[in-house]
């Protein structure tokens, strides 16, 4: 009986060891790596030598396991020499894909600026050689942990969570793969945002991202982000319409032309001039600074702001309607003097 028990224990231990090895080799749930690192693979280097180089450069955690993974995939003889831009802590499968494809011209960089909506990202992805329908790939709101973000059902799209950054891609990368990279980048960055203050105001993660998307569109002046967020918080608390024209621009897909009276009277849940509360979704994809400002607004009583004439997009902030009327009059006068163009100097 004792011998049989020992055999069972040995079998269990062997099974667990095998599972651990499979887990280590195939790395389920691994991300896409950390900071970029340049790696040179010499000509005629064998898979063991390549594994050692990758291990030394921090690209993989184990050169031996990399060699084993290459053997299992049948790629050991297909790894090409050259200079590569890889990432630290990459999954073995991603490294193998890169080394089998070879270095050079098929690696492209896609820079997604802060604040763009998913529709505005489409041409950027196209120029980077991303294949497939990016709009459809970003319509899958079920990819979000929506309940964790404060929603009862999946949102209509991933708007707000397609993190803006520079992505290194293989030309021909699928839209779905790019979206996965963006969602992972959002999770990694948002993990460092503290939500204690926002939660005390009964705001969800989705609310904070929505506020951040408006902050991103309203100002690019770093020190103003917490001030714009404060105005949004204060107006929400006072149950006053936010009066943010960027939400109307999102609804009308007009980010450049002057808004008309018809636009400003638009019958839409995105018209924050006529409806109180937040718009139903984010209006773009904010960066980390705006996310942090949306979670930690400045503690100021401001209720209004308007562009300050003669500056590069700075704003005059005010607390009372009378102060705002004064600032608005200055803006309108400067705009009229500029031939109805924005009176800014950049």
Which tens digits make up the pLDDT trace of 70-112? 888 888 888 999 888 888 988 888 888 888 888 765 678 899 9
Cα atoms found within 13 Å of the Cα of residue 197, Cβ hemisphere only: 15
**Does residue 134 surpass a pLDDT of 80?**
yes
List the beta bridge partners of residue 39: 84
Give the mean pLDDT of 266-291: 97
CA-to-CA dists, residue 215 to 60, 89, 202, 210, 293, angstroms: 39, 34, 19, 9, 8
Q: 166-170 and 107-111 as β-strands: parallel, antiparallel, unpaired? A: antiparallel
For residues 187 and 101, the model is more confident at 187
Domains observed in the chain = 30-104 (3.30.1490.480), 107-190 (no CATH), 196-337 (no CATH)
List the beta bridge partners of residue 111: 166
Contact between 210 and 278 (Cβ < 8 Å):
yes
Contact between 88 and 55 (Cβ < 8 Å):
no
Percent of the chain at pLDDT exceeding 90: 65
**Range with the lowest mean pLDDT among 74-78, 87-91, 153-157, 194-198?**
74-78
Residue 35 gets which letter from DSSP? S
Q: Locate tokens 């050991």: which residue?
A: 76
**Does residue 29 surpass a pLDDT of 50?**
no
Give the mean pLDDT of 113-142: 96
- Give the pLDDT band of residue 5 (cuts 50, 70, 90): low
**Range with the lowest mean pLDDT among 23-32, 100-109, 208-217, 276-285?**
23-32
**Does residue 296 surpass a pLDDT of 70?**
yes
- Encode 190-211: b = buried (16+ Cβ within 10 Å), e = exposed: beebebeebeeeebebbbbbbb
Of 183, 185, 165, 181, which Cα lies nearest the Cα of 124?
165
The whole-number pLDDT of residue 26 equals 52
**Model confidence over 164-179: pLDDT tens digits?**
999 988 778 899 999 9
Strand ranges, E, within 79-217: 82-87, 107-111, 166-170
Q: φ, ψ for residue 265 (rounded to 5)?
A: -100, 15
Contact between 197 and 229 (Cβ < 8 Å):
no
- Give the pLDDT band of residue 28 (cuts 50, 70, 90): very low
Of 291, 241, 232, 290, which Cα lies nearest the Cα of 269?
241
The whole-number pLDDT of residue 4 equals 57
- Give the pLDDT band of residue 204 (cuts 50, 70, 90): very high
> Which run of H or E residues covers position 119?
helix 118-127
**Does residue 143 surpass a pLDDT of 60?**
yes
Who's near 190: CB < 8 A, 6+ residues apart? 205, 291
Cα angle 292, 210, 262; round to 5: 135
Give the mean pLDDT of 142-166: 96
Q: Is 235 exposed, middle or buried (0-12, 13-18, 19+ CB in 10 A)?
A: buried
What's the CA gap between 107 and 124, in Å, rounded? 15
DSSP string, 228-296: HHHHHHHHHHTT-----HHHHHHHHT-SSSPPPHHHHT--STT-TTTS-S--SS-SS---HHHHHHHHS
Helix (H, G, I), strand (E, B) or coil at 139: coil
The whole-number pLDDT of residue 319 equals 97
The whole-number pLDDT of residue 147 equals 96
In this structure, is the dihedral angle defined by the CA atoms of residues 126, 129, 130 and 132, taken in order, positive or negative?
Answer: positive
Give the mean pLDDT of 186-192: 96
**Range with the lowest mean pLDDT among 34-43, 134-143, 183-192, 254-263?**
34-43
**Does residue 194 surpass a pLDDT of 90?**
yes
């Amino acid at each position: 009986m004792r011998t049989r028990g020992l055999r069972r224990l040995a079998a269990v231990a062997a099974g667990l060891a095998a599972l651990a090895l499979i887990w280590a080799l195939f790395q389920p749930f691994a991300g896409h790596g950390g900071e970029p690192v340049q790696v040179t693979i010499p000509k005629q280097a064998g898979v063991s030598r390549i594994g050692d180089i990758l291990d030394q450069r921090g690209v993989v955690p184990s050169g031996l396991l990399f060699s084993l993974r290459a053997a299992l995939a049948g790629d050991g003889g297909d790894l090409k020499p050259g200079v590569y831009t890889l990432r630290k802590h990459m999954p073995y499968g991603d490294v193998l894909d890169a080394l089998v494809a070879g270095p050079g011209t098929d690696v492209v960089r896609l820079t997604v600026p802060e604040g763009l909506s998913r529709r505005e990202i489409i041409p950027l992805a196209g120029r980077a050689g991303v294949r497939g329908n990016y709009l459809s790939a970003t319509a899958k709101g079920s990819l979000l942990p929506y309940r964790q973000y404060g929603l009862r059902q999946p949102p209509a799209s991933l708007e707000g969570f397609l993190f803006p950054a520079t992505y290194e891609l293989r030309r021909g990368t699928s839209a779905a793969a790019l979206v996965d990279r963006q969602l992972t980048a959002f999770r990694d960055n948002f993990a460092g945002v503290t939500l204690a203050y926002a939660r005390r105001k009964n705001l969800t993660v989705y609310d904070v991202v929505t506020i951040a998307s408006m902050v991103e569109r309203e100002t690019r002046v770093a020190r103003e982000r917490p001030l714009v967020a404060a105005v949004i918080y204060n107006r929400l608390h006072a149950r006053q319409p936010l009066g943010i024209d960027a939400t109307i621009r999102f609804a009308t897909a007009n980010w450049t032309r002057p808004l008309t009276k018809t636009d400003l009277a638009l019958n839409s849940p995105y018209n924050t001039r006529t409806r109180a509360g937040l718009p139903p979704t984010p209006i773009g994809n904010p960066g980390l600074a705006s996310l942090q400002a949306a979670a930690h607004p400045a503690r100021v009583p401001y209720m209004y702001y308007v562009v300050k004439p003669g500056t590069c997009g700075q704003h005059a902030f005010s607390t009372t309607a009378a102060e705002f009327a004064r600032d608005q009059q200055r803006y309108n006068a400067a705009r009229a003097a500029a031939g109805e163009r924005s009176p800014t100097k950049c």
